[in-house]
Chains A and B, each alone.
Chain A
């Protein structure tokens, strides 16, 4: 019973973590807009979420079977799973940050982060309402 309550929250928590990770990555891209040779990177969000919720397997994942084992990020979130953006206009210094695209992705990701926050508080409120007895109003 209880795990049915937390299952929805688990999914939203994974989504929120991934959104914040993507936000950080996009901030790195914007910060390096003038760095020669820097290539913009992004996470395949849909794939990363499917991996995080266990819907598909995570390639390259290492099992942490003992305390002290390090479990590095794998799959779409891992260092090798991140995707490099294709340049729409090449620049002479080898920088691959398209500021328009990065700003758009950043705004889009911020809105979706906030949407996930609202989904979480919505489901928390629903659960709390269900727990209230009818004569409490």
Chain B
């Protein structure tokens, strides 16, 4: 019964999207963190999605999603001149994280839309399967 595989496919997508939401949440939480003593501020993270083939043989068409990698944005952090700040370097600059809050918000909306889409797919598949179970009854 190939319809049951929809739950695997959409379930993997929902889990991948929730991981993306998690990453967005940690990026936003760290949007204003400054560099530690090592001079390294928090770096924005991005999830990388990859198609994961589920099933074998005649069920090989199932293409789920998995997070293959979480990459760090290597662009230099925002530098602000603030000599009174305790974390300021010798020139009086403070390095903040390189998180762009606008990008993160867009990412969050996109992730939540995809999440909802997959939940609706599962809902439709569930109601179709339930109706299939009632086949032949009155």
Contacts and interface: CB of A to CB of B under 8 A. Distances in A.
Contacts of B27: none
A36 B49 CA distance: 7
Contacts of B50: 35
B135 A117 contact: yes
B35 interface: no
B128 A110 contact: yes
B18 interface: no
B117 A33 contact: yes
Interface stretch (A21-29, A44-52, A55-63): A21-29
A17 B63 CA distance: 19
A72 B59 CA distance: 10
Given A99-B117, A106-B124, A28 B3 contact: no
Contacts of B125: 23, 27
A29 B131 CA distance: 24
A32 B61 contact: no
A103 to B, nearest CB: 7
Interface residues of B, number: 36
Given A31-B118, A34-B114, A72-B58, A20 B63 contact: no
Contacts of A72: 57-58
A126 to B, nearest CB: 12
Contacts of A82: 61
A24 B136 contact: no
A63 B114 CA distance: 42
Contacts of B48: 36
Nearest to A43: B61
A49 B131 CA distance: 22
27 contacts: A20-B1, A20-B128, A23-B128, A24-B9, A24-B62, A27-B6, A27-B121, A28-B63, A29-B63, A31-B13, A31-B63, A32-B49, A34-B49, A34-B65, A34-B110, A35-B65, A36-B49, A37-B51, A38-B51, A38-B63, A41-B61, A70-B57, A72-B57, A73-B58, A82-B61, A106-B121, A121-B136
Interface of B: 1-3, 5-6, 9-10, 12-13, 17, 20, 48-51, 57-58, 60-65, 110-111, 114, 117-118, 121, 124-125, 128, 131-132, 135-136
